[in-house]
Amino acid sequence: METYLILIIILFILAASDLTVGVANDAVNFLNSAIGSKVAPRHIILSVAAVGVFVGTLFSSGMMEVARKGIFNPEMFRFNDVVCIFLAVMFTDIILLDFYNTFGFPTSTTVSLISALLGGSVAIAIIKIHQSGMFIESLGNYINTGKTIGIFTAIIVSVIVSFVVGAAVQYISRLIFTFNYEKKLKRYGAVWGAFALTSISYFILIKGAKGASFLTDSNIKWINENTVMLLGICWMTFAFILEIIILSTRINILKPIVLTGTFALALAFAANDLVNFIGVPLAGLSSYQIVASSNNPFHISMQALKEPVSVNNLFLIAAGIIMVITLWVNKKARTVTQTEIDLGRQFDGFEKFNSNRSAKEIVRTSIGFGKSIKKIIPDVVLIFIESRFLPKSDETKKAKKEKPPFDLLRASVNLMVASVLISVGTTYKLPLSTTYVTFMVAMATSFADKSWGRESAVYRVSGVLSVISGWFLTAFIAFLISGVFASGMYFGGIPIIVIFCLTALGLIIRTNILHSKKEKKISSIKSSLESIEKNDIKDLIDNDFKNYLESIKKSNSLIFEGLVSENRKKLKKALELADDLEKSGRNLTSKIIKVTTSLPENYFANKIDCGRIISSINEINSSVFSVSDKVFEHIDNNHSGLSKNARENYTILNSELIKIFDLAISYIKKKDPDKLLLIIERRSELKSIIKTIDKNIIETLQKGESKTRITMLFLNIVYKSEHLYKELIDILDFIKLFTDKK
């Protein structure tokens, strides 16, 4: 039994880790609206959320039975069976959620837990069925299939309903208040605000009373029977208080609404989702206590797990402390939150997701549908609607710089709609995922607010589709991995458990390193896209262009080394670098546009064509990506490599390109005009090399010493190199004009 006690201790250690990764992912549920609207400084928002989380832990004891008997029928399993299941669930949850956090994907910890429990239970059940000589049809005796199917069905429905309701409420709210909502708020803001706060209060009542450890059954029954009366009192009280605030102060009443909603969702998260993190270890502890008092510990069933559970408040308080600390210090929580905020922000900027075919088709269909609808709506109505969605036009430069991703009106709608939907789902005992509901409501309100304009729609839709796809993958992957882990521990015992512990630790360390690298890259790109004033031009020249040219040089070198040595890994890296180069190029062109539009008229005295430099950057991006893609495909298909003569020619060409790029980078650093003259003078040398290569290629073809496919590829590289040189000269001319002007 001592060995099994150690395993229970391991379960609780894993629970602490699961709390950390789980809070990092679920923080988006309650932080998104407050942080996205900048309702208050970050430390205030986190303090409100922390109080909500800590209070919510005291409401969670009623939810702990899900891990004990919600998915599998405990009477069909023995102690060693459930230990394998519980350990498999914890390993799976930690690895999976940490992976999602690393890439900033919000997913459902509820779905992760349920799927992992289902996967581990099914695996152990199949093993027991096989060992006892029964048929697979008896699997239903082991698994609570009805409840499992109901959970996943409700989740799919909730995704659709959340988007539709969120979009409708936000659209109506914006029609009423517009983006210039301050005046409208003074007129009837108290009525609207009271409705929002009442919705949030209803949410707290329904979610809180259900699992509160300090409320008796009679208290809960009274709340349920008098819900309408309580809500009516809440509405009148809030309307009265908000009207006084509007008449006697300058406080924006949307701020307390958003902060109250943040508190409510944080409370609900802790009350509802704490079971996802400590429910399994507590079930494991209960299992140990059951067998420890038995004379035949390894042969009695876990029937006792069906009995009601009462959780020691010390466990809840400890869990609350860990969650609050994670909320303040975990960097991955910010990454997940930022993903949702970026997808819903009101203005253009750095887009984290690339477009895909599905997103393009959805956007194209939506545009066509919108045009059809406009044809049947009278022009007067269209003009009125458009006037209600006009953005603020009187913003100063400072205000634009500090502008939040979306306003307080949308933030309050996010919280109000999410609260109502989750409350209704709870009332009717529908198993909803708070993550899915809050995410879809946030996306719906941004859609209704016309945040997804023609310039960003395809990227935003692609991001939403990516997140939703990740949700389905969560269920599948959690089920599969947990089944593998449970089976491995069932047959392998302690050695396999130790291996899984080390594997989980190694994966977490690896994802932390990967997350750090990703954040540095994204932070660098996003920071360079912020408002640029006149004194930032020097930074544009000395830093962005230098880094851009160094990336081109590195990419070309990798293509050369990979093709000459037929090294697939180097060419794969070159292709990845070319993809990053395209993103850097988009960032650079955006910055150039911001710089040039912020300068006084006639700043360049018509000496530069801004369109030409942007075109040059785009051409370079296209050329580098095209070459790296074709070369990688050639080697990946195991086609023949360069001949000895071609390798020698390519070496000379690459050496010349390195000299040119080194001179260009040196010119940017030192602003030495002699360097620019040397680059221009090397044009004749480059042309001579290309002419010699062209002549040699024709000779080898005539002699039959070269294959057509590799010859065409090499010719493409050669003449793309000449094209690259021409575009580089345009870039250097642009830099020279800025330098001369300063």
Domain annotation covers residue 409: no
Residue with the larger pLDDT of the pair 253 and 494: 253
Got the DSSP string for 20-46?
HHHHHHHHHHHHHHHHHHT-S-HHHHH
Domain annotation covers residue 312: yes
pLDDT at 268: 73
Residue with the larger pLDDT of the pair 734 and 88: 88
Residues 586 and 699 both lie in one domain: yes
> Do 63 and 274 meet the contact criterion of CB atoms below 8 Å apart?
yes
pLDDT at 169: 92
525 has a pLDDT exceeding 60 = no
**Which two tokens mark 396?**
């100063």
63 has a pLDDT exceeding 80 = no
User: For residue 490, what are the domain limits?
Assistant: 2-392+416-522
> Do 81 and 300 meet the contact criterion of CB atoms below 8 Å apart?
no
Domain boundary among 522, 544, 563: 522
Residues 97 and 161 both lie in one domain: yes
Distance CA 33, CA 45 (A): 10
Domain annotation covers residue 403: no
Residues 135 and 64 both lie in one domain: yes
| Strand, helix or coil for residue 78 | strand
Handedness of CA 399, 400, 405, 406 (dihedral sign): positive
Model confidence band, residue 212 (pLDDT cutoffs 50, 70, 90): low
Least confident among 79-88, 145-154, 599-608: 599-608
Domain boundary among 494, 522, 550: 522
Report the 3 state secondary structure along 94-162.
HHHHHHHHHCCCCCCHHHHHHHHHHHHHHHHHHHHHHHHCCCHHHHHHCECHHHHHHHHHHHHHHHHHH
CATH number of the domain to which 640 belongs = 1.20.58.220
Model confidence band, residue 535 (pLDDT cutoffs 50, 70, 90): very low
Residues 517 and 564 both lie in one domain: no
Q: Average pLDDT of 692-719?
A: 79
Chain segment 309-322, per-residue pLDDT in tens: 566 667 777 877 88
390 Rama class: left (phi>0) / alpha (psi -120 to 50) / beta: beta
pLDDT at 609: 62
112 has a pLDDT exceeding 70 = yes
Residues 68 and 12 both lie in one domain: yes
Residues 485 and 420 both lie in one domain: yes
**Which two tokens mark 402?**
């500090």
Residue 165 CB partners (closer than 8 Å, separation 6+) = 417, 421, 441, 444
Largest CA distance in the chain: 97
pLDDT at 431: 59
Chain segment 329-382, per-residue pLDDT in tens: 777 667 777 777 888 888 766 677 777 788 888 888 888 888 888 888 888 888
Residues 467 and 603 both lie in one domain: no
Residues 547 and 505 both lie in one domain: no
Residues 599 and 700 both lie in one domain: yes
Task: Report which DSSP code applies to 600.
Answer: P
Residues 244 and 120 both lie in one domain: yes
Most confident of 222-231, 479-488, 661-670, 714-723: 479-488
Model confidence band, residue 706 (pLDDT cutoffs 50, 70, 90): low
Domain boundary among 522, 546, 566: 522
Residue with the larger pLDDT of the pair 204 and 121: 121
Residues 346 and 221 both lie in one domain: yes
Domain annotation covers residue 404: no
**For the chain, what is the domain count?**
2
Domain annotation covers residue 411: no
Domain annotation covers residue 206: yes
Decide: residue 177, CB within 10 A, 0-12 exposed, 13-18 middle, 19+ buried: buried
Chain segment 72-108, per-residue pLDDT in tens: 777 788 878 888 888 888 888 888 877 777 777 777 7
**Which two tokens mark 653?**
């060409």
Considering the chain, what percentage of its residues have pLDDT values greater than 70? Answer: 80
Residues 552 and 684 both lie in one domain: yes
**Among 639, 648, 644, which Cα is nearest to 709's?**
639
Residue 86 CB partners (closer than 8 Å, separation 6+) = 11, 120, 280, 281, 283, 284, 287
What beta strand segments (E) does 194-267 contain? none
Domain annotation covers residue 402: no
Q: Which amino acid is at 556?
A: N
Domain annotation covers residue 399: no
H or E segment at 624?
helix 610-636
Exposure string (b/e) for 233-242, b if CB count within 10 Å is 16 or more?
Answer: ebbeebbebb
